[in-house]
Structure 1
């Protein structure tokens, strides 16, 4: 008879943001100056800035840096500098909270979709962090906004496969570096109104410690949805792809997909006391509440995080998880995020006792 492996437990979670703070009203005014005279339809889209629910955001560069057109070399240099600093800060905080040092880490999972690094970010910071030479590195690219949930899923399975080992998962996104001054499109205006920078780190171990267990994980990939969300790539950098209305997609497609995922976990939506959801924006939060038949206002932490940080892509749902942990998780919670693919990623969490 095969031995049942212990579930992975969350030992710690830490978040980090870069030092530059941008007020949404200042971004709105700057966007009008940059796009207004060149984009005939801009006035029709300008109200987007007021409807996001965002008050402020963080960026790795000062405000004026973004008002000059940048190419790949400048964006990449900014990515290396900003991403490495955030990796070190978030990871160091998470390890300290878990009572560990970098040398205690056996596996590092690094999730990022807003910059290209070879060697990967974990290798670039390894010496400064103090990782062992035999640490296992798992860099993950392309998950976008789903990366926080999918990265936690990957890290939890690696921890469960080697009980007693320490797995560090770090997700970093520098969405502001994809700001494009040349793209006169609704998708680019939406991106300009939403995205900020941030990072989160989690330490997991299976077999001992941790009050919150990763009970099960699952994903759903919708066919023929490559145009919902993603990056285009050209000589100047990344350009956002948003060719379908995400709130409408959520209302029609989210609940059936979650039902399929949970059926494979032998669970139902009714089994969960709380939902912890990646908030694409205020309208997406409203759509999630409608799709899951939640009372309006239920996703209060989601609204608070989007107000304080904007949409940071992958790390955002872990900022929300951090607030839920601080106020206390119920017996069972479902962490969910949607991202390019188009994909729904789910992590079922439950209290250890």
Structure 2
């Protein structure tokens, strides 16, 4: 029986690093004219546990309102460039010939392109014209874990290496004239970046052993996009940490039952760093010591929340810092739907 394994992870970020204090001051000036009691909301920047982020454009670009067409044109250009860099890094680290890739999964939720960018990526990287394609859109922050699960399944069916690419330019969705709390909170945490993973049908890294997906009925209002004349407008609820605390323990227990293991056997936790409060909810609800999520906190600190790509940055850090001992681990992420995604691995 083939057991898909993670051979390598590659990452890439745009060339516009910005400190959290600079973004805070910038946002304060923009929101002052339209958001009442702004001073009571501004601590969201200090409490985000973020020091730096990378943006698709220089900070001044966000001072003006831009059309959806303008922002999406930039998305197509920059997202493709970052996807190529991350994919090349992953292929090189895995020592995989691009022509051996059997399928490409492309995950993104912050821009639109048809044909999807994986079609250009296949040609630029020199992959076979017969490479299977599976673009996944709209999964938001859950996309990295979902994509990894589907990529592992494709490794099993094709018996070939599979390339997963997740790229998000969250900052290009910023709405200059949206004075909602959601837009302010989004500006306090979102960053841009891309990650690529090569999975192979042989023992070369962490083994992907199973996945578990959960959709919560009638929860569309918790997280997602609203479409406006100027583009994608962020929507999320302040109740997300409370939902994690209420439901995650049972969801993890259900997943472990399906996987045929006891929850006590889980030694590693690779979590999507959706925000400091979400990570705290993970720790509290699962009874985890802080060091169990140290990789997620470090990625949040250095990059912010890059939606689907973030958890793959955490995976990259985990693989580079953790020696294989044969222990079980779980990858965790939440996304629009409202949904939860879990992947079991062994390393």
Candidates 94, 100, 114, aligned match of 2:96? 100
Candidates 43, 52, 57, aligned match of 1:61? 57
Residue 174, structure 1, aligned to residue 169, structure 2 = yes
Aligned to 1:112: 108
Length-normalised TM-score, structure 1: 0.95
Alpha-carbon displacement from aligned partner over 1:245-285 (angstroms, at most 9, x marks no partner): 21111111111112122211112321201111111111111
Alpha-carbon displacement from aligned partner over 1:144-202 (angstroms, at most 9, x marks no partner): 00001000000000001122x11000001110111111111111111000000011111
4+ long deviations beyond 6 Å = none
After TM superposition, the structure 1 = structure 2 runs for residues 189-338 of structure 1, keeping only pairs within 5 Å, are 189-206=184-201, 208-328=202-322, 329-330=324-325, 331-338=327-334
2:3–2:203 CA contact under 8 A, matched in 1: no
How many Å apart are 1:244 and its aligned residue? 4.1
Report the Cα distance in structure 2 between the residues aligned to 1:220 and 1:263, rounded to whole angstroms. 14
Residue 39, structure 1, aligned to residue 4, structure 2 = no
**Structure 1 pair 268/342, CA: closer, same or farther in 2 (3 Å)?**
farther
Length-normalised TM-score, structure 2: 0.97
Aligned to 2:157: 161
Alpha-carbon displacement from aligned partner over 1:83-125 (angstroms, at most 9, x marks no partner): 0001100001111111123222110000001111100011123
Structure 2 SS opposite 1:215:
strand
Structure 1 residue runs of 5 or longer lacking an equivalent are none
Aligned to 2:183: 188
Candidates 40, 49, 66, aligned match of 1:70? 66
Structure 1 SS opposite 2:91:
helix
Report the Cα distance in structure 2 between the residues aligned to 1:77 and 1:11, rounded to whole angstroms. 33
Structure 2 SS opposite 1:219:
strand
Q: Which moved more, 1:281-290 or 1:37-46?
A: 37-46
Structure 2 residue runs of 5 or longer lacking an equivalent are none
Alpha-carbon displacement from aligned partner over 1:193-216 (angstroms, at most 9, x marks no partner): 00000111111111x241311011
How many Å apart are 1:17 and its aligned residue? 0.8
Structure 2 SS opposite 1:14:
strand
1:220–1:261 CA contact under 8 A, matched in 2: no
Structure 1 SS opposite 2:194:
strand
**Structure 1 pair 210/297, CA: closer, same or farther in 2 (3 Å)?**
closer
